[in-house]
Amino acid sequence: MDEQDKEIKEQSLRAAFFDIFNGCSRVVIKPSKASTFFPEGTKTVTAYAKHFCFFDQINLDRIREDAFNKAKTKGLPTKEENLSNLNEQGLWTDKDESNWVSKKSYLET
């Protein structure tokens, strides 16, 4: 790698660090032709993607936990209860679940 390539890589890494430290990254997107959100003929749009910090993640975890507890107190079944009911009815077996988990894991790697 020559000096110019090293400098470009270093600038890119500094920019990435700045974005993470700043909490968001600037991204340029091309809206689909079917989009009704952007005016017709829009070629590109600059958007900002937020990077979650520790506090954001904790807040989201608390919101999820509150929603889960609220649903449970209203009598909605948990995932495990749903799987058990489907298994009892023969609609979704342990073998189906194992197969699905295996395929999901494969796709995530």
pLDDT tens digits for range 28-86: 999 888 888 888 888 999 999 998 889 999 999 999 999 999 999 999 998 899 999 99
Task: Kindly tell me the number of DSSP H helices and DSSP E strands found in the chain.
Answer: 4, 2
In a domain, 61, yes or no: no
| Residue closest to 51 by CA, chosen among 16, 23, 19 | 23
Q: At residue 1, does pLDDT exceed 80?
A: no
In a domain, 18, yes or no: yes
In a domain, 42, yes or no: yes
CA distances from 24 to 21, 45, 46, 63 (A): 8, 16, 12, 22
Q: What is the mean pLDDT of residues 83-92?
A: 94
Q: At residue 2, does pLDDT exceed 90?
A: no
**Total structural domains in the chain?**
1
Instruction: Residue 46: give the domain boundaries.
Output: 1-51
DSSP 8-class letter at 35: -
| pLDDT level of residue 109 (50, 70, 90 thresholds) | confident
Verdict on whether the full-model pTM lies above 0.75:
no
